[in-house]
Amino acid sequence: MTTRANVATADPLVGRIAERAQLRRRIIDDKQKLITIWGPGGIGKTRLARELIHDANTLVFSGGIFTCALVSAMRAGDLVAIVARAIGLSASTARSHEDRLARIGRALAARGRTLVLLDNVEQIVAETCAALSAWMMIAPETTFIATSRELLGVSGESPCELAPLNVPRTDAEVETSDAVELLVRRARDVRPDFEADPRTLREIVSRLDGIPLAIELAAARLAVLSARQLALRLDRRFEVLAVRHGGAEARQRTLRGAIDWSWELLDEAEQHALAELSVFHGAFDLDAAEAVLDHPAAAASVIHALRSKSLIVSHPADTPGGAPRFSLFESIRDYSLEKLGDRRSEVQARHAKYFIHAAEERAALVDGLAGEEALRWLTREQPSLVTLVDRYLAENTPQAAELALRAVLALEPMLSIHGANMLVVDLLARIETVCALENFSDAMRLRFLEARASSLLVLGHLQEAGRATGDAQRIAREVGEIHHARVLTIAAYIQQAQGHQEQAMNTAQAALALAEAIGARREQGTSLAYIGLVLHVRDQFSEALVHYERALAIHLEVGHLRAEIRTRARLAFLMQDLGRPEDAIAQCEEARRVEEKLESRQLNGLLLGYIGNFRRAQGRISEARDHYSRAVQLLRRAGDRRFEATFTMDDGIACLLDADHETAATQLALAAKIIDEVGDARLSTLIAGYELMTQAGLGDVEAARAAFDRANAYVASVNDPATQSLLELQAAQLDVASSKHASPKIRERLLARARAIVAQLPKPILGEHRRIAVHLLQRELDQAELTKNTLLVMRDGSKIRPPGSAWVDLVAHPSTQRVLAMLVHRRIASPNASVASADLIEGGWPGEKVVASAAANRLRVLLTWLRTNGLRDLLKSDRGAYWLDSGAPIAIVESEDAHD
């Protein structure tokens, strides 16, 4: 009988807390008759089973606890002999195998409640199944635990699949990872001072799939290698992990030996199939397996067999009702790939043919009614397709480069939607280093240039995008009109982004004419949307509305989801410009509903920013800023520099509307920096115009004028009347800011000029930016009006500005400062109270001994000077008492440019 002492291990078991507790409940509480712990070699089945035996209470299992090591059993007779010996039966004289089985069953039954571990039965599964079926019937109080790389399939079997130890996904999870704990523990057994950074530890256990045997073998190598050196050598894992694991049985003393054992247990068809499946670097489904295997009709049965033998991992479907997916542990994949041998190129060709063809089919559907499922497939299979690109580029031939290009072009719609435009650009650049564009067909060169231009446009590299479309246009004229129309629409958008509105209009109209001539509805919709955008930017709102609505109708007709979202977003902003906020919100909400199907980082960021604009227009500044912050984060991750700058600017505008000029200045400066890298002259003009208004609000006339000069230089390069007129409106704030330092006569002239600009605007005011500019200008004008009738007093008393007058310096007149301070403080504390002349004399010349008549004369001269310098109508007196008129406003200010 096995006792707890002789199966206890020297080291505590790492991890497996949940499995251990669950199995203990099954054994002790549920009294299950057969528990099979199954999983791949080296996963820790035997170790866990022996821990369970060690935990078992002999008071519960009064009949005994027995361990039967069956690794050497190759026949039914071996199994019977080992079990009989373990439970203390003498050699049997029974003639038949059935009699010997029955004898063991009766012996177990006689013991009462008994626990038996049958360790390592995968090589005698059929024999074990037959024996267990007999014993479970004869000895119902006996509980059997079996460990195997394959499920047994016995009636009443309770399987427990042992998964790898948990592998950290981030550096933060390293401390709680059982796989890392095992690695570090075993490493310190051979090198007590072992240390490694979290990233390297995570890389090692991830490359080893969290399999305990592989981790322990790797840890042994850390006696002579650093963790980084080990990580770099895992591409040669079978060589590196050939160190013998001394405490293991022979078949598990090396990683290759552990897998050899599983391989030898497969039949020829299963070995053949496993080798072929090794070409998958990620997860795959049954369809992909059928395309790769020599015998596709047998794919389902062979995958089931390999799965039941722990050589394939099963993953749940990613959608309800979807098909499961499968993968190979990295070590098993590498081993099986070796076994593929000379057949590798043939199987890889089938793999590539399937994925490229399937990806191209899905890419064509992304923007249509079946786009959601197509997008999900491309997202899921991205690792396989990128692996194909790497493999073909490594071949370094024109034929392989074209296959790589086909894979990248099939991925491009999905990558663009998910904001991975930089990856598209990088992959295309890698292809071009292997094969010059001249070596591709015209059609492939055109598709290459279209993908490059579209991705560069989103990333804000407008000049490079423009060069790509220029090259594409020359090819497109030869390839066909539909391709030419498509390239022209991209070129129009680039021109519009660069601020060349007239050129963009001509290009978009040419694209529309081509699309209409050949009946290309999708291209018609795109061209109409771009024409609408140019009209919108030029403040031709009615015409823009017509084109947007025509474009939207076509997008809906052909199921072009991305174009629908963009056009609805632009239409929403147009509704805002037209002063129809309810319609704007309705369009944006519908666009968001459509976007949920695509889960596009870039489009989601775009819509969040537009919603921020609507909240800003409603005066909900805090909500608006929250939307802008989230939009900018998404757009930055998507690499969309133009709209990152746009909504950073919009955040600055929100701060400006909230009179937070300092934060507004910071955000606008950041937006200007981003857009300077992009080269969008119109947006640069817009940002500089708001910087002008911000600096004017801060009272920094020189900085405001510098911003105006920058804006003027930008607007001159685009020749855009709408942007020019907006800048003229924004520049009116320069007059208001300058008026604060001017004489009364000049100040009134400057303010009158600013008021005239507002008065000349047609009503109602259309255009959100124009309305914002008018609001900010009117706020400053109102403040200027209030200031004009207000007595301004510096807090330190050094200056005053009487209503309608210029600033008066009191620095050389300390007595005047003190007398005026007394009058101001009395007015603020008690508006109708006066100050006696004696108190003013005492306050104005404290401590001085002067005869009464001379003191009274001093005060009279001082008060006359104040009246002469602007306080004639404010300074009142009666019978030796003085006060400031309670009907006139007074403001204490910190500087000449600010007032309360």
Question: Which pLDDT tens digit goes with each residue over 387-410?
Answer: 899 989 998 888 899 999 999 999
Residue of 453, 335, 370, 356 lying closest to 402 (CA atoms): 356
> Is the pTM for the entire model greater than 0.75?
no
Confidence of residue 9 (pLDDT cuts 50, 70, 90): very low
Q: What is the mean pLDDT of residues 417-441?
A: 91
Give the number of other Cβ atoms within 10 Å of residue 333's Cβ.
18
Question: Cα dihedral sign for 592, 595, 596, 601?
Answer: negative
- Note the residue count of the chain: 900
Place of tokens 């000349």: 760
Residue of 512, 531, 532 lying closest to 522 (CA atoms): 512
Tokens representing 226 are 């650093």
Residue of 631, 634, 639, 635 lying closest to 615 (CA atoms): 631
Confidence of residue 372 (pLDDT cuts 50, 70, 90): confident
Could you tell me whether strands 34-38 and 157-161 are parallel, antiparallel, or unpaired per DSSP bridges?
parallel
Phi, psi of 845 (to 5 degrees): -130, 65
Q: Which residue has the higher pLDDT, 184 or 244?
A: 184
Q: Which residues of 432-449 are buried (b: 16+ CB within 10 A; e: fewer)?
A: eebbebeebeeebbbbbb
Query: Which of helix, strand or coil describes residue 863?
Result: helix
Tokens representing 470 are 């220029």
Distance, in Å, from the CA atom of 736 to the CA atom of 720, rounded to the nearest integer, reads 26
Q: What is the mean pLDDT of residues 739-756?
A: 81
Is the pLDDT confidence value at 255 over 90?
Answer: no
Within 13 A of 39's CA, how many CA atoms are on the CB side? 20
Task: State in Å, rounded, how far the first CA of the chain is from the last one.
Answer: 94
Q: Packing angle between helix 442-459 and helix 398-417, nearest 10 degrees?
A: 40
* pLDDT score at 695: 93
Confidence of residue 1 (pLDDT cuts 50, 70, 90): very low
Judged by average pLDDT, the poorest of 363-367, 428-432, 452-456 is 363-367
* pLDDT score at 776: 92
* pLDDT score at 8: 41
Q: How far is CA 168 from CA 177, 179, 184, 331, 414, in A?
A: 6, 8, 14, 18, 28
Check residue 764 and report its DSSP letter: S
Q: Which residue has the higher pLDDT, 249 or 869?
A: 869
Confidence of residue 58 (pLDDT cuts 50, 70, 90): low
> Helix (H) and strand (E) counts for the chain?
40, 14
Q: Rounded to a whole number, what is the largest CA-CA distance in the chain? A: 147
* pLDDT score at 244: 54
Indicate the helix (H) or strand (E) that contains 564. helix 561-577
* pLDDT score at 487: 92
Residue of 633, 632, 679 lying closest to 651 (CA atoms): 632
* pLDDT score at 2: 37
Strand partners, 835: 882
Helices (H), ranges, 116-211 = 125-138, 178-190, 198-207
Q: What is the mean pLDDT of residues 366-383?
A: 86
> For the chain, what percentages of helix, strand and coil (3-state, to nearest 5) are there?
65, 5, 25
**Average pLDDT for the chain:** 89
Query: Which of helix, strand or coil describes residue 674?
Result: helix
In terms of C-beta density within 10 A (0-12 exposed, 13-18 middle, 19 or more buried), how is residue 812 classed?
A: exposed
* pLDDT score at 142: 94
Could you tell me whether strands 835-836 and 875-878 are parallel, antiparallel, or unpaired per DSSP bridges?
unpaired
Q: What is the mean pLDDT of residues 695-708?
A: 91
* pLDDT score at 505: 94
Indicate the helix (H) or strand (E) that contains 426. helix 421-434
Phi, psi of 765 (to 5 degrees): -80, 120
Question: Cα dihedral sign for 214, 219, 225, 227?
Answer: positive
Tokens representing 96 are 């038949």
DSSP string, 604-654: HHHHHHHHHHHHHHTT-HHHHHHHHHHHHHHHHHHT-HHHHHHHHHHHHHH
Q: Packing angle between helix 601-617 and helix 581-598, nearest 10 degrees?
A: 160
* pLDDT score at 3: 35
Confidence of residue 672 (pLDDT cuts 50, 70, 90): very high
Angle at 453 between CA 448 and CA 455, to 5 degrees: 95
Check residue 172 and report its DSSP letter: G
Name every residue whose Cβ is closer than 8 Å to that of residue 39 and which is 6 or more positions away in sequence: 45, 149, 161, 162, 163, 310
With a pLDDT cut of 70, the percent of the chain lying above it is 96
Helices (H), ranges, 42-176 = 45-55, 76-86, 97-111, 125-138
Question: Cα dihedral sign for 676, 682, 685, 686?
Answer: negative
Is the pLDDT confidence value at 91 over 80?
Answer: no
Judged by average pLDDT, the poorest of 246-255, 499-508, 537-546, 598-607 is 246-255
Tokens representing 157 are 């079997």
Is the pLDDT confidence value at 5 over 60?
Answer: no
Distance, in Å, from the CA atom of 12 to the CA atom of 693, rounded to the nearest integer, reads 70
Give the number of other Cβ atoms within 10 Å of residue 170's Cβ.
9
Residue 712 one-letter amino acid? N
